[in-house]
Every structure is written in C-alpha cells, then in structure tokens.
Amino acid sequence: MITGSQCRAGRALVEVTRAKLASRSAVDEAVIEQFERKLEQPAPETIAALKSALETLGAVFIEENGGGIGVRLKFTESDAKRIARLEGEGGIVATNRVP
C-alpha cells in the first residue's frame, strides 16, 4: 500500500494531473486530492487502483527498507542497456578512499 505523499510524488514524477490519474484509475479526483493532502484515507482497493495506474505510467514505489519509503521512475529499455554497457566496460579497480 502507498501513502498519500507517495501518490503525490509518483504523480509528479510521471507528470500527470489528478484529473488524468482519476481517469486512468477510475478513482474520483476529489478522493485523490483528499488522500494526497492526508485528509482522508481511501479504501485499500482505491489505493491499489491508484498505485497500479501510477506503476503503469512508470512509477516504482519503494517500501520501508530502513531508509524510508519512496518512489522513483522506472528505467526505460534504452537506459537499462546503457547502464549495462557502462557497468561492463571494466577499467582500473581501486578503493574509493581518498588519502
């Protein structure tokens, strides 16, 4: 389950308005606003619908892992390929310590 803050942040990351998210999730725009402003807690099914719609748009929700909850964007296919290529380039291996 996500929080209202994660919903708001996820919406900002994928650059959709509340109206667009309402349309994609079949959740009323007023309910989304109340949830994001922490004024009302919707039913778990409603939160799941919001999470699913945001994930489809490219948001990835991070559960509590000792560092806090969060949200980030998915890597695109081309981003993932570039990262894999850079990781496989090799080079000098050294410690990160600065004397």
Residue 37 lies in a domain: yes
Residue 97 lies in a domain: no
Whether the CB-CB separation of 53 and 25 falls below 8 Å is answered with: yes
Task: Report the CATH number that the domain containing residue 14 is assigned in CATH.
Answer: 1.10.260.40
Residue 65 lies in a domain: yes
Position 77 scores a pLDDT of 75
Cβ neighbours of residue 38 closer than 8 Å, sequence gap 6 or more: 4, 5
Residue 22 lies in a domain: yes
pTM exceeding 0.95: no
Residue 17 lies in a domain: yes
DSSP three-state, residue 72: strand
Each residue's pLDDT tens digit in the chain (99 positions)?
A: 899 999 999 999 999 999 999 999 999 999 999 999 999 999 999 999 999 999 999 999 998 877 789 999 887 777 777 777 777 666 665 565 655
Cβ neighbours of residue 77 closer than 8 Å, sequence gap 6 or more: none
